[in-house]
C-alpha cells in the first residue's frame, strides 16, 4: 500500500513527475561528482626550492578534503595560490568555474578562508570584525546583520560580540575567523591548519563545527593539517603531500586498506620470530614486535599457540587498525615527524631569506 502522500501526488501527470525525478537524480549524481576545484599541474618555485611541484587534483562539491603533510610540504603555498594571494610559477586552477590567473575577483567572491595565523583586527570587537568583512564583500545591510547574528550563534560567540578581540583566547579567535570566513556564503571554504596550537578540547569543538557546517550548509571544505587524527576524523578524501608533490590521494579508509590488514603489536622481552606466510610485514620498535596481517582477530590465537610452543613470555598484545601515521610512513618512507625536521627547515629559511 502506498502512503497517503504518494496517492495524492499520483494523479498529477504521472510521466513528467518521474522524468523530473530522474533528471534531478542525475543532477544530484552530477553534483556529487562535479569538481568545484580543479588543479592543473600547479607549480610554485621559490628560486631553486620547489614548494609546489606539479600538483593536479579535483575536489568535488560538498566534500571535506584534506591536504595532509608535514610542515613545509607545500600545503599553505597551495592554499595561498588558490586564494589568489600568490601567483603560481606555472599551471592553473579553476575554482567554481573561475580561473585563478585571470578572474581573481570572481574567485575571491566564491571562497572563504581561515588562515593559519590569526588575521583579525584585535583592536576591533568581534561584531566589528564581522561587519568589516561583510562590507568588504558587499553584503547588503539587512542580510549582513542577519547572517552575522546567525553565525555568532553558530560559533557560540553571541555573548562576546561586543568584546574587543584582543581579549579572546586562541580557540575563540579561531571560531570567530571561521564565522567570518562563512559570512559571505562562500561555495568553498579553505581552512589552513584549523586546530594548530589549540588544546584537545577546543580541537574537538572545532571539528564538530566543521562537520556541522559541511552538513548544514553543504559548503565544500578544503583543510590542511599535519595531524593524522584530524584528517582521519574529518575528511572524506585525503591527499598526502610530500615535498610539493602528491604521494597518494584517496579516502582515509582506502589509503589504510592499501597497507592492508591490521597491526598486531606484541610486547615481549624474548626473541620472537613467528615466520608465517600470512604475515605481511614485521618491524620492531620500542620493545614491541609489530606484525601486519589480514584478519588479525582470527590469526591472534594462532600466534598465541606458536608463542606458547616456543615458550615465549608475552607481556601484552594489542591489535590496531593502521592509522594515517602508518599510511604516511608507507607512502613517503618516513614518519611525519622525521620529515618535518628536515624539509621544513630548508623551506622556511629560504622563504625567510627571500622576504628580507
User: What is the binding site for another protein (CB under 8 A)?
Assistant: 80, 83-86, 105-106, 108-109, 111, 113, 115, 117-124, 128, 131-133, 135-138, 355-356
Shortest Å, Cβ 150 to another protein: 20
Whichever of 123 and 349 has its CB closer to another protein, that residue is 123
* Least Cβ distance, residue 183 to another protein (angstroms): 11
Smallest gap from residue 107 Cβ to another protein (A): 8
For another protein, the closer CB: 119 or 167: 119
What cell numbers appear for 304 in the block? Answer: 598465541
6's grid cell: 504518494
d(CA 215, CA 201): 21
Bridge pairing between strands 237-242 and 64-68: parallel
Q: Between 257 and 351, whose beta carbon lies closer to another protein?
A: 351
Strands 220-225 and 188-192 come out as parallel
- Residue closer to another protein, measured from CB, 125 or 292: 125
Which residue number, 128 or 340, has a Cβ lying nearer to another protein?
128
Alpha helices (H) in 155-236, listed in sequence order: 170-182, 200-217, 228-234
Q: What span, in angstroms and rounded, lies between the C-alpha atoms of 117 and 277?
A: 50
CB of 225 to another protein, least distance (A): 19
Alpha-carbon Rg for the chain, nearest whole angstrom, is: 25
For residue 40, the minimal CB distance to another protein (Å) is 21
Alpha-carbon distance of 339 to 299, in angstroms, equals 34
Instruction: Please answer whether residues 93 and 103 qualify as being in contact, where contact means their C-beta atoms are separated by less than 8 angstroms.
Output: no
Question: Strand (E) positions, the chain?
Answer: 35-46, 49-60, 64-68, 90-95, 98-99, 111-114, 188-192, 220-225, 237-242, 245-250, 262-268, 279-285, 288-293, 314-320
DSSP-assigned states of every residue in 314-344? EEEEEEEPPPHHHHHHHHHSS-HHHHIIIII
Q: Kindly tell me which of 147 and 237 has the beta carbon lying closer to another protein.
A: 147
Give the nearest distance from C-beta 298 to another protein in angstroms. 54
For another protein, the closer CB: 62 or 186? 186
**Nearest residue to 176 (alpha-carbon basis) of 135, 233, 131:** 131
CB of 83 to another protein, least distance (A): 5
Name the 3-class secondary structure at 230: helix
Based on CB atoms, which residue is closest to another protein, 108 or 299? 108
**Nearest distance from residue 103's CB to another protein, in Å?**
11
Amino acid at each position: 500500500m502506498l502512503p497517503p502522500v504518494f496517492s495524492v501526488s499520483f494523479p498529477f501527470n504521472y510521466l513528467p513527475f518521474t522524468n523530473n525525478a530522474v533528471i534531478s537524480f542525475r543532477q544530484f549524481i552530477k553534483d556529487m561528482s562535479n569538481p568545484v576545484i580543479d588543479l592543473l599541474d600547479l607549480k610554485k618555485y621559490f628560486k631553486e626550492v620547489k614548494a609546489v611541484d606539479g600538483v593536479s587534483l579535483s575536489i568535488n562539491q560538498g566534500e571535506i578534503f584534506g591536504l595532509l603533510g608535514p610542515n613545509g610540504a607545500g600545503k599553505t603555498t597551495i592554499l595561498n595560490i588558490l586564494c589568489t594571494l600568490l601567483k603560481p610559477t606555472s599551471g592553473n586552477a579553476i575554482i567554481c568555474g573561475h580561473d585563478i590567473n585571470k578572474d581573481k575577483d570572481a574567485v575571491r567572491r566564491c571562497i572563504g578562508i581561515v588562515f593559519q595565523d590569526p588575521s583579525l583586527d584585535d583592536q576591533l570587537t568581534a561584531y566589528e570584525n564581522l561587519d568589516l568583512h561583510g562590507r568588504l564583500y558587499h553584503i547588503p545591510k539587512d542580510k549582513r546583520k542577519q547572517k552575522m547574528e546567525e553565525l555568532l550563534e553558530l560559533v557560540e560567540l553571541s555573548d562576546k560580540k561586543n568584546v574587543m578581540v584582543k581579549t579572546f583566547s586562541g580557540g575563540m579567535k579561531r571560531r570567530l575567523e571561521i564565522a567570518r570566513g562563512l559570512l559571505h556564503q562562500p561555495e568553498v571554504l579553505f581552512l589552513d591548519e584549523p586546530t594548530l596550537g589549540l588544546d584537545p578540547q577546543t580541537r574537538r569543538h572545532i571539528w564538530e563545527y566543521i562537520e556541522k557546517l559541511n552538513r548544514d550548509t553543504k559548503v565544500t571544505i578544503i583543510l590542511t593539517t599535519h595531524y593524522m587524527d584530524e584528517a582521519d576524523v574529518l575528511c572524506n578524501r585525503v591527499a598526502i603531500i610530500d615535498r610539493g608533490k602528491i604521494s597518494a590521494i584517496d579516502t582515509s579508509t582506502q589509503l589504510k586498506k592499501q597497507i592492508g590488514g591490521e597491526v598486531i603489536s606484541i610486547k615481549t622481552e624474548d626473541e620472537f620470530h613467528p615466520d608465517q606466510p600470512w604475515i605481511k610485514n614485521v618491524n620492531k620498535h620500542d620493545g614491541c614486535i609489530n606484525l601486519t596481517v589480514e584478519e588479525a582477530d582470527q590469526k591472534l590465537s594462532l600466534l598465541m599457540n606458536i608463542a606458547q610452543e616456543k615458550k615465549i613470555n608475552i607481556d601484552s598484545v594489542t591489535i590496531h587498525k593502521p592509522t594515517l601515521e602508518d599510511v604516511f610512513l608507507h607512502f613517503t618512507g618516513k614518519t611525519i615527524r622525521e620529515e618535518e625536521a628536515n624539509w621544513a627547515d630548508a623551506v622556511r629559511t629560504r622563504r625567510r631569506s627571500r622576504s628580507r
